[in-house]
Amino acid sequence: MNRRHLLKTLTLGTAGITAFFMGNQRMQAEEKKIKIPKYPNEHFYKNGKWDQEVSKEAYRELFRYHNYAIGETVLSSPDFWMLEFGQNDFSNVGMGGIFFINDKEHGYFAHDIYLLPGQMIAQHYHIAAEDKPPKHETWHVRNGAVWTVALGGDKNNLPFELPKSQEKYTTCFKAKALKVGDIDRLHALEEPHFMIAGPEGAIVAEYASFHANSGLRFSNPTVK
């Protein structure tokens, strides 16, 4: 192979590699343009009843959108659960989740929270139960974005719209925006709080003390 032939081969090889990476960048840019849908509430109900299979598929879309590595494992686990809080408003008030561990003996808890775009966890608080103190929590955003909302603030200055079904019972208006990697924590034991997802939904890791369902209280008396 002479020098001219070698240089031509190297040039063609470099051009091929450049084209590959440029093509890859274009694909990534096109993927970024894809938006996860915010479904209307009726999408999640059939003949007036909550359709859990449709709701589960929406979380599957969330996991794929955010490249959540263990998404299919979570969805196939018997420990995966979804809540619509009895509000018939799953598009706006609901959540999915899995308790990876909830150790009463040693008092620690690991939970992943899954929120569809604009989905709110109904305002709640934790009290002492099962011979354990009130639950304390820390939230770590892994994908998407959320607002954590605590007591205080001004209802008229919220950076998002409260779901109509929750307006009457919401008393927390101090909102803090969290993006990927950000961490927030409960300000005080037994303090009411809630969380609401941004337009791309969210996957949030929660690190906490022992969770007792019997110590969970909702501000909205119609929540189930």
pLDDT per position as a tens digit, 124-139: 999 999 999 999 999 9
- Mean residue pLDDT of the chain comes to 90
Instruction: Check pLDDT > 60 for residue 54.
Output: yes
Nearest to 169 by CA among 222, 118, 120, 95: 222
Instruction: Check pLDDT > 50 for residue 27.
Output: no
pLDDT-above-70 percentage for the chain:
85
Instruction: Check pLDDT > 60 for residue 31.
Output: no
Q: What is the pLDDT of residue 119?
A: 98
Q: What is the pLDDT of residue 13?
A: 53
Q: How confident is the model at residue 169 (pLDDT cuts 50, 70, 90)?
A: very high
Q: What is the pLDDT of residue 35?
A: 84
β partners of residue 124: 193, 218
State the pairing for strand pair 137-153/193-208: antiparallel
Q: What is the pLDDT of residue 34?
A: 62
Instruction: Check pLDDT > 70 for residue 222.
Output: yes
pTM of the model: 0.85
Q: What is the pLDDT of residue 2?
A: 57
CA separation for the pair 203, 115 (Å, rounded): 7
State the pairing for strand pair 49-50/45-46: antiparallel
Burial 40-68 (b: 16+ CB within 10 A, else e): ebeebbeeeebeeeebeebbeebbebbeb
Number of other residues whose CB lies within 10 A of the CB of residue 179: 11
Nearest to 205 by CA among 117, 120, 115, 111: 111
Q: What is the pLDDT of residue 1?
A: 55
